[in-house]
Amino acid sequence: MAVPAALISSPSPSSTSLIGLCGFASARSSSALPRPIVALSRSSFSSGFANSGSFAVSSSPFTESNSFERYQRDSWLYKGATPPLPAPPLDPRSSGNNEDSAADGKEDDIAQQLPELKRLLELLREKSGSGAGGSPVGTVSLVGTGPGDPELLTLKAVRAIEGADLILYDRLVSHDVLQLVRPDARLLYVGKTAGYHSRTQEEIHQLLLNFAEAGANVVRLKGGDPLIFGRGGEEIDFLQQQGIRVKVIPGITSASGIAAELGIPLTHRGIANSIRFLTGHSRNGGTDPLFVAESAADPESTLVVYMGLSTLPFLAPRLISHGLLPETPAAAVERGTTPQQRVVFAELADLVNEVQVAGLVSPALIIIGKVVALSPFWPKFFEEVAVKSEAPSPAEQNCGLRVQ
């Protein structure tokens, strides 16, 4: 029997509170317990329960297409012109006029940027001595920035960012990471969201090529790892065919970073012997996810779905029909590893409804598999601790876990 959704950030006065979470929860038999559904914010992770009862969505830690931060960073592109006002976000319920308007705005935006882009190209060519008769000396580095927390950057990524002349960055590169860019370096937003691409992939290819040929040290910043659902392979292939040297600096992919944040071991002896990464996007932008083979519903494996929020209502029942048990533990994580992180834990059969009730938004990662129940934040862990005897065991005393 399912229990009503409970927010860990707003416990009732009579609810049991936990202090001093430590380690991973061990696998336990809990057939007599109610089915768990719980949502929590990142602040709950350090304090057990947060004091605030608010569940409002905080401002995004990433660069949204219509954000002030985007136009502030790109202001160098509009010298002598008036920067466009941020466009309102697309309404997915619209009939299509909204998309047409966004496309028109994008064309106007790019047209205003062209003079400064050309001027920058000329300056870089003069500085490097490339151009007519000159040989290209620039390089392109594809740099993964991890899931959002700047402390998860590699040292090599930091050095590449600090040494860049021009940075083309995606939507899922956090504001904190962009603070590392040199004051004299140029930033250009090339982010994509559902229904709005500030640049097509072909336009991004051409920008990388043109500036590398002009002798610039170009960094292509991508959230997570550039070669996991980041289209990094396409950019490498294009640039290498044009004779441009490409470096790849890996980042912590969202699956690893977010799982670690939640204390979920993606593999665990006797529980999960493999991991599968799946894109939740439809190839044609529809609501139906990409083909989900029966092998994706392996109960001995962990399934991690990237960008799967919009297609989750179709994905979850398909996984169950292919053989996953409805009570399979699952978690949906919004804006993982950032201060705005929010998490919904639920059994697979309940996940779609609870994600909708909590109002999770993109970007979100979904983890499905028995290992989710090993997280110290899995709600059954709380319930089992609450029914323990008041005399804590030596192990509990050692890690500071006690019931008040």
Write down the domain spans for the chain.
6-59+255-397, 68-85+97-252
pLDDT recorded at residue 110: 57
CATH number given to 6-59+255-397: 3.30.950.10
Of 42, 82, 38, the C-alpha closest to 330 is: 38
pLDDT of residue 220: 96
Q: Which residues are catalytic?
A: 170, 192, 307
User: Which pLDDT does position 140 carry in this prediction?
Assistant: 96
pLDDT score at 388: 52
State pTM to two decimals.
0.74
- What residue type is 144 in one-letter code? G
CATH topology of domain 68-85+97-252: Cobalt-precorrin-4 Transmethylase; domain 1 (3.40.1010)
**Are the C-beta atoms of residues 303 and 319 closer than 8 Å to each other?**
yes
pLDDT (0 to 100) of residue 280? 83
pLDDT of residue 73: 73
**CA 351/CA 35 separation, integer angstroms:** 12
**What six digits make up the tokens of 265?**
């071991």
Residues of the chain with pLDDT under 50: 1-36, 46-58, 86-106, 132, 385-387, 389, 395-396, 398-404
List the Cα angle 317/283/241 in 5-degree steps.
140
pLDDT of residue 193: 63
Q: Report the C-alpha gap between 98 and 103 in whole angstroms.
A: 9
Contact between 71 and 188 under an 8 Å Cβ cutoff? The reply is no
